[in-house]
Amino acid sequence: MKPKITLKDIARELEVSISTVSKALKNSEEISRDTKDKIQAFAKLYNYKPNNIAVSLKNRRTKNIGVIIPDIVHHFFTTVIRGIEKYANAKGYNVLVCVSNEGYEREVINMELLANGSIDGFIMSLSTETQQKNDYNHIKEVTDQGIPMVMFDRVTDRINCDKVVIDDAQGAFLAVKKFVESGKKKIALITTDDYLSVGKDRTEGYKKALSHYNIPLEESLILKLPSMEVEASAFDTFFKTQEVDAVLCVNEIFAIHAMRLVHGMNKRIPEDISFIGFTDGLLSKFAMPSLTAIAQHGELMGEEAARMLIEKVETENEEETFSTTVLEPTLIERASTL
Amino acid sequence: MKPKITLKDIARELEVSISTVSKALKNSEEISRDTKDKIQAFAKLYNYKPNNIAVSLKNRRTKNIGVIIPDIVHHFFTTVIRGIEKYANAKGYNVLVCVSNEGYEREVINMELLANGSIDGFIMSLSTETQQKNDYNHIKEVTDQGIPMVMFDRVTDRINCDKVVIDDAQGAFLAVKKFVESGKKKIALITTDDYLSVGKDRTEGYKKALSHYNIPLEESLILKLPSMEVEASAFDTFFKTQEVDAVLCVNEIFAIHAMRLVHGMNKRIPEDISFIGFTDGLLSKFAMPSLTAIAQHGELMGEEAARMLIEKVETENEEETFSTTVLEPTLIERASTL
DNA sequence: TTGTACGCGTTATCAC
DNA sequence: GTGATAACGCGTACAA
């Protein structure tokens, strides 16, 4: 209906040259008041806005930042995106979100797509499958091209770039500390397989804390699930065979599920069994009883990642110096602990 | 380190013209086997990929679709995005997500930014503030420019475009029907102010259903909150002053909150009071007791919206015919109803 | 079979 | 003060 108006259109209409229009709209001193007024009025009337694509082509800067996350229906990742958006928008950047859906293939495809000029830099968190395959060539290619990259939460040592993570071991430590201080002795851990970097760190923190408090480590008190999916039977047999008085869960869902199960076994929460879950999301707040949680500070993480990325994007600096920001987790105490 | 390689680079290196390279890479019949082989091999070696920006400028097609949502930390919207992503990626499109954060200003800014060439079309859901202000000029400007637009969930009659919505009235009807069939008589509604299109439709469906089942409408059984935020005191006085045996809530959070309150008043759920909540999200599944919910089919909604948009984007068709897809909600029965 | 020229919309440089 | 020209990277109609 009202096709977009260009510099050329204005120039033709006002019978001046394209460059005059361009300068006038940038309020250049070279142009006379008269013509500037005329051109600016006309531009406003027809609501002229420069074409981003053309500007990008010219500047070799898109003002877009690409975000690759494993899953968008996941509270933690959405809070990170919110943080990224917040900071990026304030700096005049758009956020291009792509979801790998926890798959290697989609991660590669999405990155290749965006890397071909659509974005000025990446912020990403690795998909489960990528971590399993342990194959990071697609990421190496991107960084080798000189495209700035910031990884968050699920990171790898194999790539040299800026990173922002939570001290997951410390989070687990905090949880165990809380349990110990409220008199718990048989502290269980429900987690996933070790290929997830976060799972590994949390397990480590759990073990370290036990040894710190002189509690013998019993491998039978660690339940390792092969994936993020809840396997009811595994939970069932675990709680039927093990005697525990405190449970640390690697995510909310595991914790909620376990609490329900325990509730059905006529045990009291938190008196008989206490619970703490990682990732302070909606479920923790609204669970019955509400769940004591280790907050991951996703929004802060997003802001920090965006800050680091934009810093790199906007400095011509050729020196390759990378840093890793480690955020401290926080224990949010609720009704599932004493 | 390895700056991006262009057609020009290849041409210079192989001492042919740029267009020869371009044609060779598109496997044009015009080019001899020999040169094609040579060029293709070279391109692969240096991992040549066409610059998206340049292609976009040329084609006046970006292969990006812009999505504007009110809030990303909201399960419903993320499921919609998942649906959009799924369909769009399959069709070779990227998804550019911007969050209005329920604000008019950010909605306008984001749309203007994206509208200037960054995207081929919009998929959006209105922010609360925009619906309150009832000002849609920014959207009209976009559609007037001929940029395809699909609105979902929170839509308005004031804009002529494709839409995809859930039959919210029908959803409320289903809920009331369920209550009535299990013998409930005093059916309450907890909702938000009417400026939210969805809230209005749901209230309408609730009233229609009551009249259909010959239950007198009592305005005192409708609790209207001014925003999506939970106001504990309002809930408190409501349940202390009103005699109810069933509650329909316009969202999960309200429902969970109300259930907790009622639980504390020593009433049994669902025997004494039954609950149904809109938007079947994580909270509903994991609540105690689990919450019977009206599923909004967000993912389907996203796919449908993306389908409609890409259809419009890819057809040159000048005729302006718009359609509205109405999805049917589904009642997911859980433990909070008889 | 290969190359030239042009246009997409913008900006920067330089000439008039 | 204003305008012509080149360049960003690509694709394509047309010329050689």
Q: What is the CATH number of the domain that holds B66?
A: 3.40.50.2300
Structure confidence at residue A34 (pLDDT): 94
pLDDT of residue A195 exceeding 80:
no
Strand C proximal to A28 Cβ, under 7 A: no
- How far apart CA B144 and CA A4 sit, in angstroms, is 10
Asked whether the beta carbons of B120 and B311 are under 8 A apart, the reply is no
pLDDT at B285 over 70: yes
Place of tokens 């008889």: B338
Q: Is there a single domain that holds both residue A161 and residue A183?
A: no
Q: What percent of chain A has pLDDT over 70?
A: 99
A176 shares a domain with A288: yes
Is residue B317 scored above 90 in pLDDT?
Answer: no
Q: Which residues in window 47-66 of B are less than 7 A from strand C by Cβ?
A: 54, 57-58, 60
Tell me: do B30 and B40 sit in the same domain: yes
Structural domain harbouring B258: 168-297
Question: Does residue A3 register a pLDDT over 90?
Answer: no
* Mean pLDDT confidence for A221-247: 89
d(CA B299, CA B337): 26
**What pLDDT score does A63 carry?**
94
Distance (Å) from the alpha carbon of B92 to chain A's nearest alpha carbon: 9
Q: Chain A interface, mutation test: which of B46, B77, B81, B97, most A Cβ atoms within 10 Å? A: B97
pLDDT at A317: 67
Same domain, yes or no, for B282 and B188?
yes
Whether residue B108 is found in the same domain as residue B143 = yes
Assess contact for A208 and A242: CB atoms under 8 A. no
Nucleotides of C under 7 A from a protein CB: 1-5, 7-13
Q: What pLDDT is recorded for position A173?
A: 97
How many of the other CB atoms lie within 10 Å of CB of B300?
A: 17
Same domain, B193 and B133: no
Chain A residues near residue B256 by CB distance under 8 angstroms: 286
Kindly list the residues from chain B whose CB atom is less than 8 angstroms away from the CB atom of residue A78.
72-74, 78
Q: Is the CB of A51 under 7 A from strand C?
A: yes
Q: What's the mean pLDDT in A276-285?
A: 92
- Candidates B73, B94, B283; nearest CB to A286: B283
Q: Is the CB of B61 under 7 A from strand D?
A: no
A4 vs B1, B96, B145: nearest CB: B145
Closest CA to B101 of B76, B125, B82: B125
CB contact under 8 A, A97 and B115: no
Q: What is the pLDDT of residues B251-276, one digit of tens each?
A: 999 999 999 899 889 999 999 999 99
Distance from CA of B63 to the nearest CA of A (A): 10
What sign does the CA torsion over B309, B311, B313, B318 have?
A: negative
Whole-number distance in Å between A50 CA and D4 C1'? 21
As a whole-number percent, the residues of chain B with pLDDT over 90 amount to 84
- The average pLDDT across A297-301 equals 97
Shortest-distance nucleotide from B56 CA to C1' = C8
Which positions on strand D lie below 7 Å from a protein C-beta? Answer: 1-5, 7-14
Count of domains observed in chain B: 3
- A177: in domain: yes
Instruction: Clarify whether residues B199 and B247 are in a common domain.
Output: yes
Q: State residue A318's pLDDT score.
A: 66
How far is it between the farthest Cα atoms of chain B? 87
Nucleic strand C near CB of residue B14 (< 7 Å)? no
Burial class from Cβ neighbours inside 10 Å (0-12, 13-18, 19+) for residue A241 reads exposed
B200/B311 same-domain check: no
- Res A85: pLDDT: 95
A41 and A81 share one domain:
no
Q: Please say if the pLDDT value at position A51 is more than 80.
A: yes
Whether B52 and A64 have beta carbons less than 8 Å apart is answered as no
- Decide if B335 is inside a domain: no
Q: Does position A45 have pLDDT exceeding 90, yes or no?
A: yes
Handedness of CA B220, B222, B223, B227 (dihedral sign): negative
Q: How many angstroms separate the CA of residue B211 from the nearest CA in chain A?
A: 34
DSSP reduced 3-state for A70: coil
Q: What is the pLDDT of residues A93-121, one digit of tens each?
A: 999 889 999 999 999 999 999 999 999 99
B177-232: pLDDT as tens digits: 999 999 999 999 999 887 776 788 999 999 999 999 999 999 999 999 887 777 88
Buried b / exposed e over B228-250, threshold 16 CB at 10 Å, is beeeeeebeebbeeeebbbbbbb
pLDDT at B226: 82
**Per-residue pLDDT at B320:** 78
Q: Across the strands, what pairs with B192?
A: B225
Angle in degrees, CA A73, A302, A178, rounded to 5: 80
Report d(CA A143, CA A121) in Å as an integer.
9
Domain annotation covers residue B316: yes
Question: Are A121 and A312 contacting, i.e. CB atoms less than 8 angstroms apart?
Answer: yes
Chain A residues touching B43 at Cβ < 8 A: none
Tell me if B113 and A144 make a contact (CB, 8 A cut-off).
no
What's the confidence (pLDDT) of residue A199? Answer: 82
Check residue B318 and give its pLDDT: 66
Phi-psi category of residue B155: left, alpha or beta, with phi > 0 → left and psi -120 to 50 → alpha: beta
Q: With CB atoms and an 8 Å threshold, state whether A1 touches B253.
A: no
Tens of pLDDT, residues B46-90:
999 999 999 999 999 999 999 999 999 889 999 999 999 999 999
Q: Hey, of A140, A286, A336, which one would you mutate to test binding to chain B, going by the most B CBs within 10 A of its CB?
A: A286
Amino acid letter for position A200: K
Residue of B nearest to A60 (CA): B53
The pLDDT of residue A257 is above 80? yes
Residues A237 and A248 grouped into a single domain: yes
User: Does B53 sit within 8 Å of A96, measured CB to CB?
Assistant: no
Whole-number pLDDT of residue A109: 92
Q: If you compute the radius of gyration of chain A from its CA atoms, what whole number of angstroms results? A: 26
Task: Please report whether residue A2 resides in a domain.
Answer: no
Q: CA-based angle A185:A189:A192, to the nearest 5? A: 175
Handedness of CA B18, B22, B28, B31 (dihedral sign): positive
Nearest-neighbour CA in chain B from A9: distance (Å) = 15
Residue in chain B closest to A93 (alpha carbons) equals: B113
**Contacts with B231 (C-beta within 8 Å, 6 or more apart), sequence order:** B225
Q: What is the pTM of this model?
A: 0.92
Residues of B in contact with A96 (CB under 8 A): 64, 94-97
> Is residue B338 a part of any domain in this protein?
no
Same domain, B173 and B245: yes
Are the beta carbons of B95 and A95 separated by less than 8 Å? no
Pair (B162, B173) in one structural domain: no
Sequence letter at residue A136: Y
Contacts of B280 in chain A (CB under 8 A): none
CB contact under 8 A, A288 and B286: no
- Is A338 part of a structural domain of the chain? no
Residue A334 lies in a domain: no
CA–chain centroid gap for B298, Å, is 7
